[in-house]
């Protein structure tokens, strides 16, 4: 049984870094262990034009400081002209579509998918990936993702050359969809490999595990875990680490989002080790993303040891997953 591993250029393919003081707090925590990440655009207002994107990329780079970390910028989906897309193309990894009102800061999201098709057609022609928060906001909370799956079917068939990424999948049905279409890929978070709705709301309510999409049933978690542990080639790690200050989580009207970035790699090593699958971790946290997006991330070796470490109760005023608890692995 290995007691250490070396990961080459781990990538976090879905991360919320925020702006201002929160960005300064969390960006270095990601950059300590990851070589790059896909930076989500749901600021207020959203990152929805080239000028704001360049400003935000500069902010992220500044906050990351001396660490080796490439921010792969995602633009907020709206209807763009061909000239807009041509100008922004080389600065982005893809465009992130939020149905209107589906999650934190998605008020400017898409109201009608048919109105979005012209932009999607241009994205297909320009080879710009489409990243999707795939939930139907009007549906019952446990069904929001499964109700969205037919929309993925439709998009995958209508735009067979468009690279579609189902972000943060949470259901066994979404895992199955990966094998149905060549152009459909997915990210999965750490928490959705570990928890079910029981951990959020089955006993005492745990606001720090509340996120969108909500954690689902044991059979969903098991299907996600199986796909991750076998390094399904169309599945990438994307933490969806989403920091909110403590007073926005431990309150009535708790914000959605689990903060995992600083402990994600150690917890993934622990999880893959527990299932004798450490040999699949490299593909899951980097190789698959490199193949899917055609990325060449900066070289960065991360050394992990099978030694216990204690998770801080808080980072600044943000409570991480497993706050105050122990992880069986640590980053050297």
Q: What is the smallest separation between the CB atom of 213 and ligand NCD, expressed in angstroms?
A: 8
Neighbours of 250 (CB within 10 A): 12
- Which of 38, 292 has the CB closer to ligand NCD? 38
- Contact between 145 and Zn ion by CB under 5 A: the answer reads no
d(CA 250, CA 255): 9
Of 198-206, 216-224, 232-240, 324-332: span binding Zn ion (CB under 5 A): 232-240
Selection from ligand NCD, Zn ion, none that 92 binds (CB < 5 to 8 A by kind) is none
Q: What is the smallest separation between the CB atom of 256 and ligand NCD, expressed in angstroms?
A: 3
Selection from ligand NCD, Zn ion, none that 257 binds (CB < 5 to 8 A by kind) is ligand NCD
Contact 112, 99 (CB under 8 A): no
- Contact between 13 and ligand NCD by CB under 6 A: the answer reads no
- Residue 227 C-alpha from the chain's centroid: 16
Residue positions counted in the chain: 332
Region 188-217 residues binding ligand NCD, contact defined as CB under 6 A:
211-212
- Contact between 239 and ligand NCD by CB under 6 A: the answer reads no
Neighbours of 86 (CB within 10 A): 12
Q: What is the smallest separation between the CB atom of 214 and ligand NCD, expressed in angstroms?
A: 9
Figure out which of the listed residues 135, 220, 240, 273 binds Zn ion, where binding follows CB under 5 A.
240
Q: What is the smallest separation between the CB atom of 15 and Zn ion, expressed in angstroms?
A: 8
Angle between helices 20-31 and 50-64 (to 10 degrees): 60
Q: What is the smallest separation between the CB atom of 202 and ligand NCD, expressed in angstroms?
A: 19
d(CA 27, CA 30): 5
d(CA 250, CA 211): 13
Region 133-192 residues binding ligand NCD, contact defined as CB under 6 A:
133
Site map for Zn ion, 182-221, x if CB under 5 A?
Answer: ----------------------------------------
Residue 240 falls in the annotated catalytic set = yes
- Contact between 109 and ligand NCD by CB under 6 A: the answer reads no
Q: What is the smallest separation between the CB atom of 160 and ligand NCD, expressed in angstroms?
A: 27
300 to each of 8, 32, 123, 198, 286, how far by Cα in Å?
6, 10, 31, 37, 11
Residues 6+ positions from 224 with CB-CB distance below 8 Å: 169, 170, 172, 175, 188, 192, 193
d(CA 130, CA 153): 14
- Contact between 42 and ligand NCD by CB under 6 A: the answer reads yes
Figure out which of the listed residues 10, 99, 257, 287 binds ligand NCD, where binding follows CB under 6 A.
257
- Range 266-305 burial, b when 16+ CB lie within 10 A, else e: bbbbbbbbeeebbebbbbbbbbbbbebbebebeebebebe
d(CA 134, CA 123): 18
Of residues 84, 127, 220, 240, which has the active-site annotation? 240
- Contact between 240 and ligand NCD by CB under 6 A: the answer reads yes
Binding stretches for Zn ion (CB under 5 A): 240
Binding stretches for ligand NCD (CB under 6 A): 16, 42, 103-104, 133, 211-212, 240, 242, 256-257
Question: Which sequence positions are flagged as catalytic?
Answer: 240
């Amino acid at each position: 049984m290995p007691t250490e591993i070396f990961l080459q250029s781990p990538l976090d393919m879905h991360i919320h870094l925020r702006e201002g003081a929160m960005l300064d707090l969390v960006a270095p925590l990601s950059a300590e262990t990851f070589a790059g990440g896909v930076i989500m655009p749901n600021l207020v207002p959203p990152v929805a034009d080239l000028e704001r994107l360049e400003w935000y990329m500069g902010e992220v780079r500044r906050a990351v400081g001396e660490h080796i970390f490439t921010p792969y910028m995602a633009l907020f989906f709206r209807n763009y002209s061909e000239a807009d897309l041509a100008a922004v193309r080389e600065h982005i990894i893809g465009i992130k579509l939020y149905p209107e009102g589906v999650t934190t800061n998605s008020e400017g999201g898409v109201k009608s998918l048919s109105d979005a098709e012209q932009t999607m057609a241009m994205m297909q022609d320009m080879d710009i990936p489409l990243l999707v928060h795939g939930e139907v906001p009007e549906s019952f909370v446990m069904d929001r993702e499964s109700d969205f799956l037919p929309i993925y079917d439709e998009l995958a068939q209508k735009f067979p050359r468009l690279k579609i990424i189902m972000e943060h999948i949470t259901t066994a049905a979404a895992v199955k969809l990966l094998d149905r279409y060549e152009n459909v890929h997915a990210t999965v978070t750490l928490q959705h490999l570990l928890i079910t709705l029981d951990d959020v709301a089955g006993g005492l309510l745990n606001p720090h595990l509340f996120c969108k999409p909500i954690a689902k049933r044991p059979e969903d978690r098991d299907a996600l875990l199986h796909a991750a542990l076998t390094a399904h080639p169309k599945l990438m790690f994307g933490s969806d680490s989403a920091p909110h200050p403590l007073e926005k989580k431990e309150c009535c009207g708790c914000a959605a989002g689990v903060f995992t970035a600083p402990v994600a790699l150690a917890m993934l090593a622990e999880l893959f080790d527990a299932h004798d699958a450490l040999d699949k971790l490299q593909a899951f946290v980097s190789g698959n993303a490199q193949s899917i997006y055609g990325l060449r991330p900066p070289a960065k070796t991360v050394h992990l040891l099978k030694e216990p470490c204690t998770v801080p109760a808080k980072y600044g005023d943000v409570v991480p997953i497993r706050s105050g608890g122990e992880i069986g692995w640590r980053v050297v």
